[in-house]
Amino acid sequence: MGEGCRTRYPIVLVHGLLGFVRLPGHSYWNGIDVALRRRGVAVYPVRLSGVHDNEALGAQLLERIAAIRDASGAPRVNLLGHSQGGLSACYAAARRPDWVASVTTVATPNHGSEVADRLRGRRERLLARGIEGLARLMERLECAEPGLCLPLDGPASLLALTSAGMAAFNARYPQGLPGSWGGEGTGEVDGVRYYSWSGILPARDDAAVGFDPGHALCRQLARCFVREAGQNDGLVGRFSSHLGKVIRSDYPFDHLDVINRCGGRREGAADPLGVYLEHLARLAEAGL
């Protein structure tokens, strides 16, 4: 891939729940940002609150986009969000479509997560506050913009990711949503292109998985699924992730593999990094 893969507009990478840009010895995007830059593309991983509701995160993202537009001179950006980061991107695009060329959601619970549904209950507030405390700890370890403290709201974050929370969000921001369960949505709304992709847990005998604590956690959380049992990545259901033009929703990736956490242990069609590079070429071909 060379000049033909350079996008017209910068790529903005938006992390998900409990996300960050860079901790000591570890990057959230696991080399994805580096690989995209090697193709000559301007890439901006942004930092938002580790836990909050979709609209609060989206408002923070709009502030980041404004700064990127000023710094780069680009009138628009391509938003690529992992998990809840995709919802932040959808909000930003709905509010300022003139600033956004495309939205790509990656393993995003566009119709809610059955895991979030299951976690609601008598210990919900305790769990939410625990997640909030973890987010604050990670914030203190953040190497990008050290010392920056952002507002956190664990209970609001958990509610926002439930099926009910997403139904309310989607009623306000329906851009790109499928008209029927498991279908595709409109690929372009208000001049913004919408794409999505996601994965499902690979077979247990997949030798490329090996022992991975993150993968083991995804398998445990997959037990929460009923509607999409066997069709989820451990945190997000395959069909719940559909938005706009669906690139593919059954890649053999768990929820962390999809941001290249498997670190090159996969090859060919099952290589997460390759999926991002293919999408880079797709955006470039579309003139974005």
Domain ranges of the chain: 3-285
On the question of pLDDT at 148 being above 90, the answer is no
Arithmetic mean of pLDDT, 99-124: 92
Judged by DSSP in three states, 63 sits in helix
On the question of pLDDT at 207 being above 50, the answer is no
- Cβ–Cβ under 8 Å, residues 17 and 81: no
What pLDDT is recorded for position 1? Answer: 43
Q: Token pair of 2, please?
A: 């060379």
81 — phi, psi (to 5°)?
A: -120, 135
What pLDDT is recorded for position 211? Answer: 65
What pLDDT is recorded for position 32? Answer: 95
- Cβ–Cβ under 8 Å, residues 107 and 72: no
- Cβ–Cβ under 8 Å, residues 144 and 21: yes
Name the β-bridge partners of 12.
44, 79
pLDDT class of 120 with cuts at 50, 70, 90 = confident
- Cβ–Cβ under 8 Å, residues 157 and 53: yes
pLDDT digits (tens, 9 = 90+) for 56-87: 999 999 999 999 999 999 999 999 999 999 99
This prediction has a pTM of 0.94
Q: What is the mean pLDDT of the chain?
A: 91
CATH architecture of 3-285: 3-Layer(aba) Sandwich (3.40)
Q: Which of 85, 162, 92 is nearest to 120 (CA)?
A: 162
Active site residue 257: no
Q: Which of 272, 276, 198 is nearest to 7 (CA)?
A: 276
Dist. CA 235–CA 199, nearest whole Å? 10
H helix intervals, the chain? 32-38, 54-72, 84-95, 114-119, 124-141, 154-160, 163-172, 213-221, 272-285
What pLDDT is recorded for position 147? Answer: 81
On the question of pLDDT at 203 being above 80, the answer is no
Q: Which of 272, 277, 223 is nearest to 107 (CA)?
A: 272
Active site residue 83: yes
- Cβ–Cβ under 8 Å, residues 106 and 80: yes
Task: Label the pairing between strands 77-82 and 11-14.
Answer: parallel
256 — phi, psi (to 5°)?
A: -100, -30
- Of all residues in the chain, the percent with pLDDT exceeding 90 is 80
Catalytic position from the list 255, 257, 271, 279: 255
Catalytic position from the list 49, 83, 196, 249: 83
Q: Which of 174, 180, 195, 201 is nearest to 276 (CA)?
A: 195
Dist. CA 133–CA 106, nearest whole Å? 26
On the question of pLDDT at 263 being above 60, the answer is no
**Residue holding tokens 């030798």?**
207
What pLDDT is recorded for position 122? Answer: 61
Active site residue 157: no
